[in-house]
Chains A and B, each alone.
Chain A
């Protein structure tokens, strides 16, 4: 079988799972700066599925596509260190304020530009938990979608056989190529960085990151085109700005409220036998327990 072109959608997200004390400012708002920016966890599961296909079908090219500000190039590099062949950073001021639909439109334009057989993404990103971008990209590209994938088992002729993990079971489906697949956290974890790839791509940079570099460094980049992380703008992907940013987003955020625990006085007890006995008696008496 000929090698496939796979695009892995990856997002740089604040690590919302480790919201410590410094993550909240004194006024109760989220201090984004205190949260480390990480590779969205399920996008790593997606990358692993792509790399497994590459292992099985030589000649397969795995490309990372991320959308975000300049610093999101970090996600592309991380993907390259783990085995991806290269990547793109989709970045433009016109994307600011995009909801999932406008984001999906931008990403679908970029995928059309890059060209690919299979798009693989994480099921959802931990900063929003919406799980919308995968299916919306599929719709925008007019491709079938397979969500909640746990294992891309094999590729036969022009079909992919995929195991899906549902709420209470599994489903094995076949989908024609091209298609969009979104991968669950229950899928195998991503392989770790590969020392050789790390050496090879350590200096991979976007054109913006190269600004101000000395001549030797730029020459090294000119000599080794694989070090270039391609930056894509709205113009590069031929997107219509009408469908981007706030104007392309049907949903608007009306208000944001920080979660503050309501203060309520709790009765304090110790583990003393008598105190617990009295509590259980009280619960029985007011019918919280028993009938």
Chain B
């Protein structure tokens, strides 16, 4: 009772990265709150899936294995989670801010009348005093997120309702093995006693999911381009530099919206959050929308013709110049010096 719960998603037959990231976060929250970490996973033919969950620190894994749960569908998934949370009364429940989590979590929160904060960038335990009501709260979950297009950072709390629910995007939290042989108890959810015919209302007719290809989050070096790169063709130079120095290409929303590169490469609030050891920002002005997704990079190099671009304020190196001139020189210098 009153434990920390993480809803785990399945991606290509495995536990999704975002879920393992949340397990790591959930573990540290549970340690601080001195309670257990429990995971819940729904799917079909997922025997032994707990092996991908336990090492991240889960003490209990609730597994629902049923043909009706092979692919995500709002109604049956929501019915099972609502039933489980009603019985287990988690104090905190975390979901990935994926197309699954952002569909499921609001439905669950509405049914349980528990508050939900979307797309948190930080989760911290803290106290709260409601001076008006003369009430003090210990150990609340501070759900911290950007709002208003990223121009403000809000800390949200749910003082009275449980569970305190939050979604977090992939790549925002770090995933770490807690203990390779962490002991975890498996509990089977009796799907048959929960689902009814009404849960089958929506049906999947066809499904085409591309295998995961571009995943810039895993790269330690990111060469990222913005609107200032100018064209799809000019992005080729960024790809060349990335290949030479062993990195991936990222982009700002403006570059993606202009059709220069695929959305999968977008860094920022509406894209992925990255924290590589080197981030080279080419022709990126540095709107909060973008910097929120890369400001934790260990080193930032900004290449820009505008000496007053906001990105320069968070950069370690600012190269004032044209991307088309600077990048070939970087490639040349790297080739010459790395031998």
| Structural contact, B107 and A258, CB atoms closer than 8 A | no
Known: A17-B149, A271-B321. A144 touches B201 (CB 8 A): yes
| Structural contact, B329 and A254, CB atoms closer than 8 A | no
- State in angstroms the CA–CA spacing of A30 and B146 once bound together: 13
Which residues of chain A are near B313, meaning CB under 8 Å? 261-264, 266
Known: A254-B156, A259-B152. A284 touches B316 (CB 8 A): no
| Structural contact, B74 and A174, CB atoms closer than 8 A | no
| Structural contact, B205 and A166, CB atoms closer than 8 A | no
Q: What would 12 A/B residue contacts be, using CB atoms closer than 8 Å?
A: A135-B103, A171-B209, A174-B202, A250-B161, A259-B151, A259-B288, A264-B313, A264-B314, A264-B316, A277-B337, A289-B221, A289-B334
- State in angstroms the CA–CA spacing of A132 and B97 once bound together: 11
Which residues of chain B are near A283, meaning CB under 8 Å? 278
9-residue interface stretch from B51-59, B114-122, B180-188 = B114-122
- State in angstroms the CA–CA spacing of A167 and B18 once bound together: 13
Which 8 residue pairs spanning A and B have beta carbons closest together?
A16-B149, A271-B321, A250-B115, A251-B115, A169-B209, A250-B161, A139-B110, A280-B333
- A residues within 8 Å of B by Cβ? 14, 16-17, 19, 23-24, 30, 99-101, 104, 126-136, 138-140, 144-148, 161, 166-176, 249-259, 261-264, 266-271, 273, 275-277, 279-281, 283-284, 288-290
Residue of A nearest to B98 (CB): A167
| Structural contact, A16 and B318, CB atoms closer than 8 A | no
| Structural contact, B322 and A250, CB atoms closer than 8 A | no
Q: Does B155 contact A (CB under 8 A)?
A: yes
Chain B, range 147-206, C-beta contacts under 8 Å to A = 147-161, 201-206
Q: Does B302 contact A (CB under 8 A)?
A: yes
- State in angstroms the CA–CA spacing of A42 and B336 once bound together: 50
| Structural contact, B118 and A171, CB atoms closer than 8 A | no
Contact with A along B103-146 (1 / 0, CB 8 A): 11111011101111111000000001000000000000011001
Residue of B nearest to A153 (CB): B205
| Structural contact, B155 and A266, CB atoms closer than 8 A | no
| In-complex Cβ contact of A19 among B99, B111, B128, B149 (8 A) | B149
Which residues of chain A are near B1, meaning CB under 8 Å? none
- State in angstroms the CA–CA spacing of A172 and B71 once bound together: 12
Known: A166-B99, A270-B319. A129 touches B118 (CB 8 A): yes
| Structural contact, B338 and A249, CB atoms closer than 8 A | no
Which residues of chain A are near B336, meaning CB under 8 Å? 277
| Structural contact, A161 and B205, CB atoms closer than 8 A | yes
| Structural contact, B337 and A268, CB atoms closer than 8 A | no
- Whole-angstrom distance between the Cβ of B305 and the nearest chain A Cβ: 9
| Structural contact, A280 and B330, CB atoms closer than 8 A | yes
- State in angstroms the CA–CA spacing of A275 and B303 once bound together: 13
Residue of B nearest to A104 (CB): B110
| In-complex Cβ contact of B151 among A129, A136, A166, A258 (8 A) | A258
| In-complex Cβ contact of A24 among B111, B143, B151 (8 A) | B151
- Whole-angstrom distance between the Cβ of B22 and the nearest chain A Cβ: 17
Residue of B nearest to A255 (CB): B155
| Structural contact, A289 and B113, CB atoms closer than 8 A | no
- State in angstroms the CA–CA spacing of A200 and B106 once bound together: 39
Residue of B nearest to A275 (CB): B319
Residue of B nearest to A186 (CB): B263
Residue of A nearest to B287 (CB): A19
| Structural contact, A284 and B151, CB atoms closer than 8 A | no
Which residues of chain A are near B316, meaning CB under 8 Å? 264, 266-267
Q: Does B15 contact A (CB under 8 A)?
A: no
Residue of B nearest to A281 (CB): B337
- State in angstroms the CA–CA spacing of A267 and B312 once bound together: 10
| Structural contact, A173 and B202, CB atoms closer than 8 A | yes
- Whole-angstrom distance between the Cβ of A154 and the nearest chain B Cβ: 11
Q: Does B210 contact A (CB under 8 A)?
A: yes
Q: Does B207 contact A (CB under 8 A)?
A: yes
Which residues of chain B are near A101, meaning CB under 8 Å? 109-110, 113, 115-116
- Whole-angstrom distance between the Cβ of B124 and the nearest chain A Cβ: 11
Contact with A along B259-301 (1 / 0, CB 8 A): 0000000000110000001100000000110010000001101
Known: A100-B116, A145-B107. A288 touches B277 (CB 8 A): yes
| In-complex Cβ contact of A167 among B99, B118, B325 (8 A) | B99
| In-complex Cβ contact of B157 among A129, A168, A251 (8 A) | A251
| Structural contact, A289 and B75, CB atoms closer than 8 A | no
| Structural contact, A147 and B315, CB atoms closer than 8 A | no
Known: A129-B119, A270-B320, A289-B245. A173 touches B159 (CB 8 A): no
